Amino acid sequence: LGSGATMQIRRMLNGLPAADAAHLIDSSPPNIRAVLWQLVDSENEGDIIQYLSDEVQAQFLRQMDAEEVAAITEGLEADDVADILQQLPDRVIREVLDSMDHQDRIRVEHILTYDEYSAGGLMNTDTITVRPNITLDVVLRYLRRHEELPAMTDSLLVVNRNDQFIGALPLRKLLVSDPSVTVREIMDTDVEPIPANMSQRDVANLFERHDWVSAPVIDENQTLLGRITIDDVVDVIREESDHSLMSMAGLDEDEDTFASVRSTIPRRAIWLGINLLTAFIASGVINLFEATIEKVVALAVLMPIVASMGGVAGTQTLTVVIRGMAMGQIQRNNSRWLINREMLVGAINGLIWAGIVALAAGLWFQDPVIGGVIAAALVINLVTAGLAGAVLPLVLKSLKIDPALAGGVVLTTVTDVVGFMSFLGLATYFYA
Amino acid sequence: LGSGATMQIRRMLNGLPAADAAHLIDSSPPNIRAVLWQLVDSENEGDIIQYLSDEVQAQFLRQMDAEEVAAITEGLEADDVADILQQLPDRVIREVLDSMDHQDRIRVEHILTYDEYSAGGLMNTDTITVRPNITLDVVLRYLRRHEELPAMTDSLLVVNRNDQFIGALPLRKLLVSDPSVTVREIMDTDVEPIPANMSQRDVANLFERHDWVSAPVIDENQTLLGRITIDDVVDVIREESDHSLMSMAGLDEDEDTFASVRSTIPRRAIWLGINLLTAFIASGVINLFEATIEKVVALAVLMPIVASMGGVAGTQTLTVVIRGMAMGQIQRNNSRWLINREMLVGAINGLIWAGIVALAAGLWFQDPVIGGVIAAALVINLVTAGLAGAVLPLVLKSLKIDPALAGGVVLTTVTDVVGFMSFLGLATYFYA
């Protein structure tokens, strides 16, 4: 790159909103990423790094020492600093905290005591609190003493003298009310504060269902700890939604689209290895029927049809159930109905396509027996697929294994084994 | 159910927040759903129906006449009413609009003129506007004349005398500023208003990237039309994320988890039929090598391994690319790098696993030739999988075909055909 072009890119990059600059860096192959990052002015680094995807963020952070990390994160919100620090080894986190100014360090340390995936890890400490017995006029004058209210402030939080949360005063209520009334008279007391140990998935479901912009977080004594804002919840919703999609292909939801060849190979290799194992199991089943295949080669031609139809039907069921579980729709009391529906749908669709496959296969190989065998095997495999697709995620979840990650592998093993077994087994019976 | 129990359920159901009641109905099998809906008090029907999933909503709406629909949607926000009406046939929409009061009808009709999936279809018309030349004191007094500000109001919108959008006045700025300054002096002018015809996916990406709570919507003359709020954007983000997951299994993102057997069968049957067609293509390829398989039955035992490994590798690539496209990360200028990486990763992982498979197959069948053949076929198929997984979604998108829906089917056809062709073709060459 000529230095004129470099200057132009630098100006463009540093002129963009931080989120857009981060998106540009995220969307670049590794070599270009490194160049772009060097062109970011040091005063913009902190702003931009908080918007980078986790993997890219970690990569840039690994190249900095503790003082640099402390310098670029100065001025960021405490929860964003905590998110960034969690990418680093414990020793470095300690060093960065030691380099931070006292007040900031206390705030960040506090958030770091909570699990990254809990309400506590998601919250910010920038709440504006008021007492219930003051008038709105006092509140308005108190607010005017601030330089600026924190972003996403839609409510002031009302606390008693022990800092326990007792209600919320929405700005949109404050602004339309008579200044002489007290906070207590107009505050909302039906706001359910979020316990700090609630999982981020549950927090996201609450925000989504109740259309919140922000919500107070409390500890077990009702003491107000901070608040969670919708911008961070949106990231959780995106992550949780991506989790099912990526896991079903054996990928992490944080997977960097432009990860280097070197870091991509081992991740993909493991998944291929697991699937290789299941493929060998299926081959073992076929091998049991070598003699039959030797006699009727048409069986080798048709057997992938039975297995693949089972895999497709099972994946549909699995996907519906996994999404239903992610949305919190599936419990013990309604799962039986779901399992029955899936088996019934499998049976009926099995019968519909069995007829067509039987006709096609029978005509192709001029052999009605092979048509009958494939039809029977197809119905057996589609019912199995419906059963396995619905039951597996529930069983895996109760074993604390991620259904989205393990479900597909186990499912296709089942449908391959049952598919080959039923088709070649029936054929062995009829051609023996 | 005894009438005592029914009474209790009715009380519970009508006491829940509307979103929770809707979630309960969504999470129930069809027969229980119908009972629950009958137990909803008529004054709660509108509140609850807006939170129901699309399919369930449509099902209940079909049982109502136009006047009932008009009655239950009275008091809802205009954009929510528009969403509900869009579930109905045009003739019924007309009738419902005619039954609505004049002011509401105008608002809803206005939103209905925009595409359901555009910014216009997503916006609400409940903006609070102010003129630039008045003082904040006047603004505060003007606000106090309202009973209540609309939900999710984080900014007042500043318009000129032609109702053109010129800036935003955030409440959090209004509340800390000196009441004697004018709106013009403190308003934000760097807010980018959203054109009404922007797609909802682009709107969601903007909100996500810029952490907005609400944003103004304008027409081509800069005239302010309304505003979009984060609660509706969250639903779009959820929908868009679910779209990839569900489409890859041939399902609609609105798929009702507890859809009846009758409505589930035809949807699933179509997808099975499409996959049956591709399975027959794969069988056709195998059939070309009938004579070779007759000679070496071990080929029939091992051939699914090559095809399934290709399918797994290709699906990983496809998933990464489809997610990258959904996040707006993949453009023409970086797609070549991605295609090269995927082919290289496929080649190297192919070589790694080819060694192990060759050893296992060679030992199993006491035949080094079959080991060499499967190793070569595996490398060929994994490179093909990387290429197809990266190129297919780009090609399909440029043909305006949904890559998430069609990608998987086309991909597995490619990996099956290439897998069987390379493995059986090489075997035919070496065993002829």
Burial per residue of A162-190, b for 16 or more beta-carbon CB atoms within 10 angstroms, e otherwise: eeebbbbbbbbbbbbbeeeebbeebbeee
- Confirm if A133 and A210 have CB atoms less than 8 A apart: no
* Per-residue pLDDT at A350 exceeds 80: yes
Instruction: Count Cβ atoms below 10 Å from residue A55 Cβ, excluding itself.
Output: 17
Q: How far is CA B405 from CA A342, B338, B400, in A?
A: 21, 21, 12
Lowest mean pLDDT among A205-209, A228-232, A334-338, B369-373: A205-209
- Which helix (DSSP H) or strand (DSSP E) does residue A401 occupy? none
Enter the tokens of residue A135.
């008038």
**A255, part of any domain:** no
Q: Assess whether A116 and A138 both reside in one domain.
A: no
H helix intervals, B327-367 = 332-364
From the candidates A301, A412, A416, which should be mutated to test the interface with B, based on the most B CB atoms within 10 A? Answer: A301
| pLDDT at position A368 | 95
Last residue of a domain, one of A91, A122, A153: A122
Enter the tokens of residue B102.
């004049």
Give the range of the structural domain holding residue A160, as residue numbers without chain letter: 129-248
User: Are A244 and B246 inside 8 Å of each other by CB?
Assistant: no
User: Are A176 and B294 inside 8 Å of each other by CB?
Assistant: no
From the candidates A312, A344, A409, which should be mutated to test the interface with B, based on the most B CB atoms within 10 A? Answer: A312
CA-nearest residue to B48 within chain A is A209
Q: Which residues from chain B sit within 8 angstroms of residue A213, using beta carbons?
A: 152, 154, 213, 230
Could you give the CA distance from residue A167 to residue A51 in angstroms, rounded to a whole number?
32
**Complex ipTM, two decimals?**
0.89
Could you give the CA distance from residue A172 to residue B152 in angstroms, rounded to a whole number?
9
Q: Assess whether B101 and B53 both reside in one domain.
A: yes
Q: Assess whether B51 and B21 both reside in one domain.
A: yes
| pLDDT at position A126 | 86
Q: Which residues from chain B sit within 8 angstroms of residue A354, using beta carbons?
A: none
Alpha-carbon gap: A272 to the closest alpha carbon of chain B (Å) = 7
Considering only the beta carbons, identify the residue of B153, B286, B353 that sits closest to A300: B286
**A254, part of any domain:** no
- C-alpha dihedral, A223 to A225 to A226 to A227, nearest 10°: -60
Tens of pLDDT, residues B106-157: 889 888 989 888 999 999 888 999 999 999 999 999 999 998 899 899 999 9
- Confirm if A211 and B231 have CB atoms less than 8 A apart: yes
Residue B101 DSSP SS3: coil
Any idea what DSSP says for residue B168? E
Q: Assess whether B217 and B282 both reside in one domain.
A: no
Q: Could you tell me which of A232, A213, A369 has the C-alpha nearest to residue A302?
A: A369
Burial per residue of B213-228, b for 16 or more beta-carbon CB atoms within 10 angstroms, e otherwise: bbbbbbeeeeebbbbb
**B337, part of any domain:** yes
Residue B288 DSSP SS3: coil
CA-nearest residue to B299 within chain A is A300
* Per-residue pLDDT at A1 exceeds 60: no
CA-nearest residue to B153 within chain A is A172
Q: Which residues from chain B sit within 8 angstroms of residue A323, using beta carbons?
A: 242, 245-246, 255, 257
Residues in chain B: 432
Q: Assess whether A288 and A413 both reside in one domain.
A: yes
| pLDDT at position B421 | 97
User: Are B258 and A283 inside 8 Å of each other by CB?
Assistant: no
Q: Assess whether A325 and A240 both reside in one domain.
A: no
Q: Is the dihedral of CA A304, A310, A311, A316 positive or negative?
A: positive
pLDDT class of A157 with cuts at 50, 70, 90: very high
Any idea what DSSP says for residue B193? P
Could you give the CA distance from residue B412 to residue B278 in angstroms, rounded to a whole number?
8
Mean pLDDT of B281-308: 96
What's the CATH number where A162 sits?
3.10.580.10
Residue A157 DSSP SS3: strand
Alpha-carbon gap: A45 to the closest alpha carbon of chain B (Å) = 17
Mean pLDDT of B316-333: 91
Alpha-carbon gap: A172 to the closest alpha carbon of chain B (Å) = 5
Strand order in the sheet with A194-195: A194-195, A214-218, A224-229
Tens of pLDDT, residues A19-32: 899 999 999 999 99
Tens of pLDDT, residues B72-114: 988 888 888 988 998 898 888 999 999 888 888 988 988 898 9
**A331, part of any domain:** yes
Q: Assess whether A57 and A167 both reside in one domain.
A: no
Could you give the CA distance from residue A389 to residue A415 in angstroms, rounded to a whole number?
10
Strand order in the sheet with A129-130: A129-130, A155-159, A165-170
* Per-residue pLDDT at B349 exceeds 80: yes
From the candidates A245, A338, A428, which should be mutated to test the interface with B, based on the most B CB atoms within 10 A? Answer: A245
| pLDDT at position B2 | 65
Enter the tokens of residue A191.
């706001």
Radius of gyration (Cα) for chain B, nearest Å?
29
Any idea what DSSP says for residue B223? B
Considering only the beta carbons, identify the residue of B323, B344, B353 that sits closest to A246: B323
Instruction: Count Cβ atoms below 10 Å from residue A192 Cβ, excluding itself.
Output: 12
Q: Assess whether A20 and A95 both reside in one domain.
A: yes
Last residue of a domain, one of A248, A275, A293: A248
* Per-residue pLDDT at B1 exceeds 60: no
What's the CATH number where A268 sits?
1.10.357.20
Could you give the CA distance from residue A218 to residue B304 in angstroms, rounded to a whole number?
56
User: Are B26 and A329 inside 8 Å of each other by CB?
Assistant: yes
CA-nearest residue to B263 within chain A is A345
Looking at the 3D structure of chain B, how many domains does it have? Answer: 3
User: Are A282 and B356 inside 8 Å of each other by CB?
Assistant: no
- C-alpha dihedral, B119 to B121 to B126 to B130, nearest 10°: 30
Cβ-proximal residues to A57 (8 Å cutoff; 6+ apart), any chain: A49, A84, A87
Instruction: Please name the residue that has the structure tokens 């229980």.
Output: B32
* Per-residue pLDDT at B239 exceeds 90: no
Could you give the CA distance from residue B375 to residue B396 in angstroms, rounded to a whole number?
31
Average pLDDT of the residues of chain B:
93
Long-range residue pairs from A206-213, CB within 8 A, at least 24 positions apart, any chain = A207/A233, A207/B234, A208/A233, A208/A237, A208/B234, A208/B235, A208/B238, A209/B17, A209/B19, A209/B20, A209/B23, A209/B51, A210/B17, A210/B19, A211/B19, A211/B151, A211/B152, A211/B231, A213/A152, A213/A154, A213/B152, A213/B154, A213/B213, A213/B230
Considering only the beta carbons, identify the residue of A147, A271, A313 that sits closest to B316: A271
Considering only the beta carbons, identify the residue of A257, A331, A416 that sits closest to B329: A257
**A323, part of any domain:** yes
User: Are B237 and A238 inside 8 Å of each other by CB?
Assistant: yes
Last residue of a domain, one of A216, A248, A280: A248
Q: Assess whether A364 and A233 both reside in one domain.
A: no
Average pLDDT of the residues of chain A:
93
**B244, part of any domain:** no
| pLDDT at position B48 | 94
Tens of pLDDT, residues A181-228: 999 999 999 888 999 999 998 999 889 888 899 999 999 999 999 999
User: Are B329 and A287 inside 8 Å of each other by CB?
Assistant: no
Enter the tokens of residue A142.
């108190």
Q: Assess whether A342 and A203 both reside in one domain.
A: no
Q: Assess whether A84 and A60 both reside in one domain.
A: yes
Alpha-carbon gap: B95 to the closest alpha carbon of chain A (Å) = 31
Cβ-proximal residues to B74 (8 Å cutoff; 6+ apart), any chain: B46, B100, B101, B104
Tens of pLDDT, residues A267-276: 999 999 999 9
**B243, part of any domain:** no
Residue B296 DSSP SS3: coil
Backbone angles phi, psi at B158, to 5 degrees: -100, 125
Tens of pLDDT, residues B151-198: 899 999 999 999 999 999 999 999 999 999 999 999 999 888 999 999
- Confirm if A297 and B293 have CB atoms less than 8 A apart: yes
Q: Which residues from chain B sit within 8 angstroms of residue A150, using beta carbons?
A: 172
Q: Assess whether A166 and A65 both reside in one domain.
A: no
Q: Helices H, strands E: what count in chain A?
A: 21, 6
Q: Which residues from chain B sit within 8 angstroms of residue A359, using beta carbons?
A: none
User: Are B149 and A178 inside 8 Å of each other by CB?
Assistant: no
Q: Which residues from chain A sit within 8 angstroms of residue B299, using beta carbons?
A: 300
Q: What are the DSSP E strand ranges found in B202-302? A: 214-218, 224-229
Could you give the CA distance from residue A378 to residue A351 in angstroms, rounded to a whole number?
8
Could you give the CA distance from residue A208 to residue B210 in angstroms, rounded to a whole number?
19
User: Are B176 and A234 inside 8 Å of each other by CB?
Assistant: no
Question: In sequence order, what are the beta bridge partners of B182?
Answer: B135
Q: Is A152 left (phi over 0), alpha (psi -120 to 50) or beta?
A: left
Q: Which residues from chain A sit within 8 angstroms of residue B25, using beta carbons?
A: none
**A225, part of any domain:** yes
What's the CATH number where B46 sits?
1.25.60.10
